[in-house]
Amino acid sequence: MTPEPISMATLLKALRWRYATKAFDPQRKIPPDTWAALEDALVLSASSFGLQPYRFFVVVDPAVRQQLLPHAWGQRQVVDASHLVVFAARTSVTEAEIDTFIRRLAQTRQVSVESLAAYRSMMTDGLLAPTFQPLARHWTARQAYLALGNLLTCAALLGVDACPMEGFDPAGFDRVLGLEAQGLTAVVCCALGYRRPDDKYAALPKFRFTKSELIKTI
């Protein structure tokens, strides 16, 4: 069933309202139902083949956040925001991972695994090719960024502030969260919560190049 669309005005208002929040109010927490919706948004994000070669680590333990802080060069968003999501991408793509995906897909769609053989072959031919393996980390990271973009938009629509962050040492995050042993590596993170009233960046005019500069219709 096609969902009832939100108004264009509502969408654009939310996108114009959002910014990369630098100062979060540590006393304000995202309500559980709102956070549950944002987790659903992460799960429902698009990925190539639908493979989802990533995991999302929601860091709410203050002690763990303090361990992450020096690896993020002291950026206070890591500890002050209501929630911190670390996007961890697979360091490789394996045949076992593809087979697990195909099996779960067959269960969900109530079809046989055999009926998905052509789709599996398309995946293995591309993702397991020797020429692709050196690029696998970059590809899985790009899939995680799709989820990040979705999270930022959905957070804005729900009135939740967010700050996407690449300014951290992935190796440090990997050690703190034990990611290497899971075949994962941190590629980006996002702090979410509510801005402090004195965050000077909230009042700055939003600058974007014009549509005619950024969009070319061919």
Average pLDDT, the chain: 98
Q: In this structure, which amino acid lies at residue 73?
A: W
Torsion angle of alpha carbons 88, 94, 95, 101, nearest 10°? 0
DSSP one-letter code for 59? E
Residue 14, pLDDT score: 98
Is 99 inside any structural domain? yes
Single pTM value for the model: 0.96
Is 66 inside any structural domain? yes
The boundaries of the domain holding residue 131 are 8-213
- The proportion of the chain whose per-residue pLDDT surpasses 70, expressed as a percent, equals 100
Q: What is the pLDDT of residues 83-117, one digit of tens each?
A: 999 999 999 999 999 999 999 999 999 999 999 99
Is 172 inside any structural domain? yes
Residue 67, pLDDT score: 99
Question: Which tokens sit at 140?
Answer: 């899985």
Q: What is the pLDDT of residues 166-200, one digit of tens each?
A: 999 999 999 999 999 999 999 999 999 999 999 99
Is 3 inside any structural domain? no
Q: What is the pLDDT of residues 103-162, one digit of tens each?
A: 999 999 999 999 999 999 999 999 999 999 999 999 999 999 999 999 999 999 999 999
Is 165 inside any structural domain? yes
d(CA 88, CA 190): 12
- The CATH code of the domain that includes 158 is 3.40.109.10
Residue 89, pLDDT score: 99
d(CA 56, CA 164): 14
Is 171 inside any structural domain? yes
Residue 182, pLDDT score: 98
Residue 49 pLDDT exceeds 90: yes
Is 2 inside any structural domain? no
In the chain, the number of structural domains is: 1
Confidence of residue 1 (pLDDT cuts 50, 70, 90): confident
Is 113 inside any structural domain? yes
Sequential DSSP letters for 66-119: HHHGGGGTT-THHHHSSEEEEEEEESS--HHHHHHHHHHHHHHHT--SGGGHHH
d(CA 190, CA 166): 9
